[in-house]
Amino acid sequence: MIEDFPLLSKDVISIFSGNANLPLARKIVEHLGLQLSNAEVKHFSDGEIWVEIEESVRGKDVYLIQPTCPDANQNIMELLIMLDAASRASADRITAVIPYYGYARQDRKVAPRAPISAKLVADLITTAGADRVLTVDLHAGQIQGFFNVPVDNLYATPVLMECLEQHPEFQSDYEIVVVSPDAGGVRRARYSAALLKKEPEMAVIDKKRKGPNVLDDQMTLIGQVKNKVAVIVDDIVDTAGTLIKAAAKLKEEGAIKVFASTTHAVLSGNALENIQNPVLDKLFITDTIPLKPKAKLMQKICQVTISKILAQAIYNIHRGISVSSLFKDVKEAN
């Protein structure tokens, strides 16, 4: 349970979870001193999803925990149907807790007749009944504007940096350099550097993409990493192809060790094989997306939980307390 806070009453708040990440949902309610509310979410043989909320939510503050991670389409449908069920059951306020927001990388038109899928998903969530959205490290901040309801975008960086600092390399005399894998991630890298006690320098990798998950062979490093421990900071690791190429570039430029810190571990395709490449020494991730069984056994992956931050945000929303106070230092770092 969250320390120094009074108990929440299950008579006025209900927290449900879909099937996308039940372990995370259970950790969140444990912090709050509650239990997951009862709901049945199952699939028919033809793939259709069926939901039944098994307790009264009339007049309650309802939270539905469901990251839209792989299988993204299935998990989005589960979320939408749960939102509709809670809305039709006369819940007073419904908050969609989406630790990982799928389709976030499709946030703009990249071709004349391309969709903006991140906006489409936002419209679906709002139409299904969400009065508020709580998420973690959106791939693009402007996605908050795709919703016509309040959106709280939390940051996993403090949890990741705290875990990373406990690694033996950070107890040594080596200099640290925080690396953004592209120009768009500079603010995230600056925030990460501000949280580290060693006051590290920063570097940026300039790269060019040919298409989704396809990277140009040419990379340019802006900054110095020679004889330093490099930390690549990003929001998503998918196939890990970009990550490994960046790590190889840093080792080529003289980095002693290369770590990576990413919030969302999608780990699709041949990601696990890529991560085994010796150019990457350690990968730090959160549990916004559940790890596959094989990934859990990998010594190179260190997973930390984001449950306490999400629990605190749920508590603050329910009590009418500022959520922005949870990431006040982000503004100061920027």
- Measured in whole angstroms, the distance separating CA 72 from the mean position of its chain's CA atoms is 14
For 120-155, what is each residue's pLDDT tens digit?
Answer: 999 999 999 999 999 999 999 899 999 999 999 999
pLDDT category at 173 given cuts 50, 70, 90 is confident
Question: Which of 60, 119, 207, 251 is an active site residue?
Answer: 207
Least confident range of 85-89, 179-183, 322-326: 322-326
pLDDT at 330: 58
> What is the four-CA torsion angle of 209, 213, 214, 220, rounded to 10 degrees?
50
Q: Is 207 a catalytic residue?
A: yes
Instruction: Catalogue the E-assigned strands of the chain.
Output: 13-17, 39-43, 49-53, 61-65, 93-98, 132-136, 151-154, 175-180, 201-211, 214-222, 228-237, 257-265, 282-286, 301-304
For residue 64, what are the contacts with CB-CB under 8 A and spacing of at least 6? 16, 17, 18, 79, 82, 83, 86, 94, 95, 96, 97
**Is the confidence at residue 3, as pLDDT, over 60?**
no
**pLDDT for the residue numbered 130:** 98
Over residues 212-235, the mean pLDDT reads: 84
Place of tokens 């780990």: 267
Note the pLDDT of residue 332.
53
pLDDT in tens, 60-72: 999 999 999 999 9
Using alpha carbons only, give the angle 99, 102, 103 rounded to the nearest 5 degrees: 150
Q: What whole-number percentage of the chain has pLDDT above 90?
A: 81
* Structural domains present in the chain: 13-155+307-333 (3.40.50.2020), 157-304 (3.40.50.2020)
Helices (H) and strands (E) in the chain, counts: 10, 14
Cα 177 from chain centroid (whole Å): 23
